[in-house]
Amino acid sequence: MNKLSKLAFIAATAVVAATAQAQSVPASRQAVNDNWVNGTGEYVWMNGTNELCWRDAFWTPATANAKCDGALVAQAPTPPVAPVAPAITSQKITYQADALFDFDKAVLKPAGKEKLDDLASKIQALNLEVVVATGYTDRIGSAAYNDRLSLRRAQAVKSYLVSKGVPAERVYTEGKGKRNPVTTGCNQKNRKQLISCLAPDRRVEVEVVGTQKQ
């Protein structure tokens, strides 16, 4: 066999061997990108902890192997956590009318103004939604008269709160007269004693709704 024939024979033998080797690669190996097939017939070359793969000179992101490179697509950033909205608070405060007004009157006493000063300062600390002032009377007198008296007292409370900086459009008033009494057993014949017993019925309830300022 001359030299040229020997070279042709060697080349043909190499092609046949390479073809046989490719056909003998398991399906799991065939699915692996050539970047990771090494010359020893192993699946991939790994580092000492089997966590990282060695890349050959032909590696590109397009030929990456998921088992070695993981997901190369940039992960979407985690959306920021929306701040929790402040909880709406509702508080109802009951003021005895005798502490705010003289009997059968709708003009605030100095002691009554002091109590409302404290309320106004608490309201200023809120993102105010609404204030509702509801006036009540005792059962002495006619229903119509007591309705008017209870409303005037509620309006007096509103006017004072507005004078202390509470927005007028946020304050609502209502007069319920002798309805919804809270006393029981007041049956005294003596008028003065009866008025004293019915004192809890004479009241102004103020409900404040809002959220605490941050």
More confident site: 160 or 51: 160
Whether the per-residue pLDDT at 77 is higher than 80: the answer is no
The rounded distance, in Å, linking the Cα atoms of 8 and 115 is 112
Q: What is the C-alpha to C-alpha distance for residues 160 and 171, in angstroms, rounded to an integer? A: 11
| Amino acid code (one letter) for 21 | Q
pLDDT tens digits, residue range 14-66?
444 444 444 444 444 444 445 555 444 455 666 666 666 666 667 776 666 66
Task: Report pTM.
Answer: 0.60
Secondary structure (3-state) at 16: helix
* pLDDT recorded at residue 82: 74
Contact call for residues 137 and 202 (beta carbons, < 8 A): yes
Token readout for 47 is: 């580092």
Residue 203 confidence (pLDDT) above 50: yes
Higher pLDDT among residues 214 and 143, named by residue:
143
Mean pLDDT for 124-129 is 92
CATH 3.30.1330.60 domain range(s) in the chain? 88-212
Residue range 91-118: mean pLDDT, rounded: 93
For residue 27, what pLDDT is reported?
Answer: 44
Angle (nearest 5°) at CA 154 between 149 and 156: 95
Closest CA to 116 of 162, 79, 75, 84: 162
Q: What confidence category does residue 91 fall into, taking pLDDT thresholds of 50, 70 and 90?
A: confident
CATH architecture designation of domain 88-212: 2-Layer Sandwich (3.30)
The angle formed by the CA atoms of residues 192, 197 and 202, to the nearest 5 degrees, is 100
In this prediction, residue 214 carries a pLDDT of: 76
> Which of 140, 142, 135, 150 is CA-nearest to residue 187?
140
For residues 64 and 206, the model is more confident at 206
CB 150 within 8 A of CB 105: no
Q: From CA 94, how far away is CA 189, in angstroms rounded?
A: 28
Any bridge partners for residue 204, and if so which? 95, 135
Mean of the pLDDT values across residues 187-201? 94
